[in-house]
Amino acid sequence: MNNSDFKFKRYGKTVKSNVRWGYNLDQLKKVVIAILITTIGTASFLLYKEKQENSERLIYAKSEKRVENNQHANSEAENELKALQGILSSIQKQQRQPSQDVYVWNENGKTKASNANYPVGNSNVRKIESVASPSMETKFVKQGNSILLPVIVGHNGKAIQVNMLLDTGCSITMLDAEISNALNVQQEGIIESVIANGEKMISKKGTVDYFQVGPFRDSNFMVNTTQIMGNNKTQHGLLGMNFLEKHPFTIDHQRQFIRWL
């Protein structure tokens, strides 16, 4: 065998050749590198997808928690509203106490009022009837195009029911001087008011302990007092916007009821 001959196995047989056989590792390197790149790329993509899914799950969990918190807050708000409505209902029930008839008369030039002791048989005595316990509807008396509402005015431990003309053009409630004197309302000054027909009226300003119409009872209520002409009075003042604007209502003309909102 020539010194330049090389032995090697080929297909299970020993073959001689003077050419030295070797392996071409360049192609193998390329394959290995390609496999590594593919593996790393796949792993990176899988890690990215997992991170994205975890992030989406976290966002979804936070969203679910936020919805749950909102539902809980809404539930608490509803419970608080129901509690407030219960308190309001309780207050209104406490205020819905039937009033008594009040008698007004003139004695030695002074107006007096009482719901018990009055001079029986005196022709000057006028009875002012009470109203029933208030509700969210108040019966009114229609006089032409005017609406008369029953009102309870309370002051100095006395309560008198009067009929007042509903007047959205009157800024401050006007009270008959006779009723004001009967309740001994202290005058706080003189004021000039404009009523619905544009007429100017001079009156005295005062504050009563409470002023009740239907289910609503306003404490320390401002009134202007003036003399309403006539002996047989069908109304004792003007129910103005300082009460009406705080208590919205609708008018049922057919049934003759004020429905408070």
Domain CATH for 150: 2.40.70.10
| Residue-level pLDDT at 197 | 65
Do 136 and 156 reside in the same domain of the chain? Answer: yes
Instruction: Examine the fold and report which residue of 45, 80, 95 is the final residue of a domain before the chain moves on.
Output: 95
Q: Which of 72, 74, 51 is nearest to 59 (CA)?
A: 51
Q: Which residue has the higher pLDDT, 244 or 6?
A: 244
What's the domain count of the chain? 2
Do 78 and 169 reside in the same domain of the chain? Answer: no
Confidence of residue 94 (pLDDT cuts 50, 70, 90): very low
| Residue-level pLDDT at 132 | 47
Do 63 and 107 reside in the same domain of the chain? Answer: no
Burial of 195 (C-beta count, 10 Å sphere; 0-12/13-18/19+): middle
Percent of the chain topping pLDDT 90: 26
Instruction: Examine the fold and report which residue of 95, 113, 136 is the final residue of a domain before the chain moves on.
Output: 95
| Residue-level pLDDT at 72 | 65
Do 90 and 186 reside in the same domain of the chain? Answer: no
pLDDT of 67 above 50? yes
Pairing of strands 137-139, 126-128: unpaired
Write down the pTM of the prediction. Answer: 0.49
Do 168 and 240 reside in the same domain of the chain? Answer: yes
Do 126 and 243 reside in the same domain of the chain? Answer: yes
pLDDT of 165 above 90? yes
The whole domain housing 224 covers 102-260
User: 39-49: per-residue pLDDT in tens?
Assistant: 887 877 788 77
Do 161 and 190 reside in the same domain of the chain? Answer: yes
Q: Which residue has the higher pLDDT, 232 or 185?
A: 185
**Cα 232 to Cα 52: distance, rounded to the nearest angstrom:** 88
Do 55 and 109 reside in the same domain of the chain? Answer: no
Confidence of residue 98 (pLDDT cuts 50, 70, 90): very low
> Residue 170 to residues 11, 46, 223: CA-CA distances in angstroms?
122, 79, 11
Instruction: Examine the fold and report which residue of 70, 95, 120 is the final residue of a domain before the chain moves on.
Output: 95
> Residue 188 to residues 88, 172, 191: CA-CA distances in angstroms?
32, 14, 10
| Residue-level pLDDT at 151 | 95
Q: Which of 210, 207, 215, 209 is nearest to 248 (CA)?
A: 215
Do 36 and 55 reside in the same domain of the chain? Answer: yes
| Residue-level pLDDT at 5 | 58
| Residue-level pLDDT at 19 | 52
- Which of 22-31, 163-172, 199-208 is predicted least confidently? 22-31
pLDDT of 139 above 70? yes
Do 180 and 211 reside in the same domain of the chain? Answer: yes
> Residue 85 to residues 75, 88, 246, 253: CA-CA distances in angstroms?
15, 5, 18, 29
Collapsing DSSP to helix, strand or coil, 145 comes out as coil
Do 87 and 112 reside in the same domain of the chain? Answer: no
Averaged pLDDT score across all residues of the chain: 76
Do 129 and 62 reside in the same domain of the chain? Answer: no
